[in-house]
Amino acid sequence: KNILVLNGPNLNLLGLREPSVYGHTTLAQIDARLAALAKESGVELSTYQSNHEGELVDRIQAARTDGTDFIVINAGAYTHTSVAIRDALAAIKISFVEVHLSNVYKREEFRHHSYLSDLAVGVVAGLGPEGYEAALRFAVLHQTAA
Ligand code: DQA
């Protein structure tokens, strides 16, 4: 089983970026925890981060043919703006969980709408780095439906 974890814009700055909102854990530390969990669980893990919308679209499209079974995605701000990322996820028909470190519902109004949530199997928000681990555990147990 192959699981892809995608991170969007500014998530490369985790640890430095607004630590009161996003905490002190870096993306490298999150990825290391996910890699350990994947190994324990006997699944293959790929991780990818980009600040560029089109690169994220390209990586999502590549998942269609590279054996990816499940996606965990934190699209960052593109969550709230990107019809293109929504369309890419809809096109490839691979189940995904949407993750946000912060509880977007107790933040600004513009973060309350997601272009991805109604396509997602589920959404994790507000659990910090543990949200990725919860999503990965879920991904290990659940296959993409047809
Ligand atoms: C985020 C929430 C988004 O609103 C924001 O633009 C981010 C990070 C989160 O993980 O809490 O970049 O996706």
Quote the ligand 1 centre to 100 CA distance (angstroms).
Answer: 6
CA 111 / ligand 1 centre spacing (Å): 8
Query: What is the best residue among 5, 51, 74 to mutate for testing ligand 1's pocket, by most ligand atoms within 8 Å of CB?
Result: 74
Is residue 28's pLDDT more than 80?
yes
Q: Average pLDDT of the chain?
A: 96
Radius of gyration of the chain (CA): 14
Domain membership of residue 146 (yes or no) is: no
Alpha carbon of 87 to ligand 1 centroid (Å): 19
Rounded to the nearest angstrom, the gap between the alpha carbon of residue 109 and the centroid of all alpha carbons in its chain is: 21
Residue 92 lies in a domain: yes
Using alpha carbons, list the distances in angstroms from residue 9 to 67, 82, 90.
25, 12, 20
Domain limits at 81? 2-141
Number of folded domains in the chain? 1
Catalytic residue, candidates 48, 52, 100, 142: 100
111 labelled ligand-binding: yes
Answer whether residue 7 is part of any domain.
Answer: yes
Q: Average pLDDT, stretch 120-138?
A: 98
Q: How confident is the model at residue 146 (pLDDT cuts 50, 70, 90)?
A: very low
For range 107-134, the mean pLDDT: 98
Residue 117 Cβ < 6 Å to ligand 1 = no
Q: What percentage of residues in the chain have a pLDDT greater than 90?
A: 93
Within a domain: residue 58? yes
Per the rule left: phi > 0, alpha: psi between -120 and 50, beta: everything else, 68 is beta
Query: What is Dmax (Cα atoms) for the chain?
Result: 41
Q: Is residue 98 part of a domain?
A: yes
Q: Which amino acid is at 89?
A: L
Q: Cβ distance 111 to 85 under 8 Å? A: no
Q: Using one digit for the tens of pLDDT, what is the confidence trace for 50-98? A: 999 999 999 999 999 999 999 999 999 999 999 999 999 999 999 999 9
Cα angle, residue 107 at apex, residues 4 and 110 outer, rounded to 5°: 80
Q: pLDDT-based confidence at 142, cuts 50/70/90?
A: confident
pTM: 0.96
% of the chain residues with pLDDT over 70: 97
Distance between CA atoms of residues 35 and 41, nearest Å: 10
CATH assignment of the domain containing 49: 3.40.50.9100
Is 22 labeled as catalytic in the residue annotation? yes
The yes-or-no answer on residue 105 being catalytic is no
Q: State the average pLDDT over residues 7-33.
A: 95
